[in-house]
Amino acid sequence: MRKQIAAANWKMNLTLQQGEELLDAIISKPHSLQPHQQAVFAVPFPYLFMAQQKLSGKQNVFVAAQNCYSKKSGAYTGEVSVEMLQSLNIPYVVIGHSERREYFQESNQLLADKVTICLENKIQPIFCCGEPLQIREANTQNEYVAKQLAESLYHLSAEQLQQVVIAYEPIWAIGTGKTASSAQAQEMHAFIRAQLSAKYGASVADAISILYGGSVKAANAVEIFGQPDVDGGLVGGASLVADEFVAIINALK
Ligand code: PEP
């Protein structure tokens, strides 16, 4: 079975102490991760080391960065390189979250470079894609997402692509309380998989985990994750509440 992932995106929230308390609370609650299931915590950069230490030795639980820079090293004040993340043994990094695309003007081309440098350094990108509201209203979301995939991922070899986790996050559903219906999520996930299949072949496409993101919470996770092409979720708001996120982990199929 494909890897099923519940990924927490803390964004720019919580102090160090609050982050420690949240992780402690989540770890202390009963959750059962089967071998094909993972919980991932994308925490702010200053908390990576703390989270790595707290979660070390926990089966199928991993820490992720929320971003990285596209260059190897050098005079880029304020940026964080993939080599730095690798030196902390961080296995995942979120790439191209819609907030990075919107507020920091991250283009598909820049994201292609970030994906490449992650893979060159053996860090798995969680690559985000998804359409804004006006695109959904014009019913051109398939073309929009296909372009994001083509421009940021299709330079990869099939072997490289298999190291990528994709997160489909319709922007109109992020932090808004509006969730795509499970049918809308399934439809887009199946479309993404069909696109990957056309480019890389069915066996490659079938092996790639595609997460859904957009107001996932305990109350809707079972239904959304139950869709055949949905392999878990990237979760913002609900990942900041221990009981909610544990329930989301337990909703993985
Ligand atoms: C996100 O941060 O990627 C996200 C989907 O946020 P929320 O769950 O709050 O909508």
The answer to whether the CB of 213 is under 6 A from ligand 1 is yes
Q: Report the DSSP beta bridge partners of residue 234.
A: 7, 213
Query: For atom 1 of ligand 1, which residue has the closest CA?
Result: 236
Sequence-distant (≥ 6) Cβ neighbours of residue 206 within 8 angstroms: 2, 193, 197
Domain CATH for 18: 3.20.20.70
pLDDT at residue number 218: 97
pLDDT at residue number 180: 84
Q: By residue range, what is the domain housing residue 226?
A: 4-250
Q: What is the per-residue DSSP string for 91-145?
A: -EEEE--HHHHHHS---HHHHHHHHHHHHHTT-EEEEEE---HHHHHTT-HHHHH
Tell me the CA–centroid distance for residue 74 and ligand 1, in Å: 32
pLDDT at residue number 182: 94
The answer to whether the CB of 174 is under 6 A from ligand 1 is yes
CA distance 249 to 253: 9
- Looking at the chain, how many residues does it have? 253
Tell me the CA–centroid distance for residue 48 and ligand 1, in Å: 20
Q: Which residue carries 């139950």 as its tokens?
A: 226
The answer to whether the CB of 185 is under 6 A from ligand 1 is no
Tell me the CA–centroid distance for residue 234 and ligand 1, in Å: 7
Closest C-alpha to 63, from 102, 93, 83: 93
pLDDT at residue number 1: 84
pLDDT at residue number 196: 98
pLDDT at residue number 200: 98
- Tokens matching residue 158: 């099939």
pLDDT at residue number 30: 74
Mutate to test the pocket of ligand 1, among 126, 215, 217 (most ligand atoms within 8 A of CB): 215
Q: How many domains does the chain have?
A: 1
pLDDT averaged per 10 residues in sequence order, the chain, 253 residues: 96 98 92 92 98 94 98 98 98 98 97 98 98 94 98 98 97 82 96 98 98 96 98 98 97 97
CA distance 30 to 75: 45
The answer to whether the CB of 226 is under 6 A from ligand 1 is no
State which amino acid sits at residue 191. Answer: F
Mutate to test the pocket of ligand 1, among 43, 93, 165, 169 (most ligand atoms within 8 A of CB): 169
Q: What are the helix (H) ranges across the chain?
A: 16-28, 48-55, 82-87, 98-103, 108-120, 133-137, 141-153, 158-161, 182-200, 202-206, 218-225, 242-250
Atom of ligand 1 nearest to the CA of 233: 5
pTM of model > 0.85 = yes
Sequence-distant (≥ 6) Cβ neighbours of residue 231 within 8 angstroms: 2, 3, 4, 5, 209, 210, 211, 225
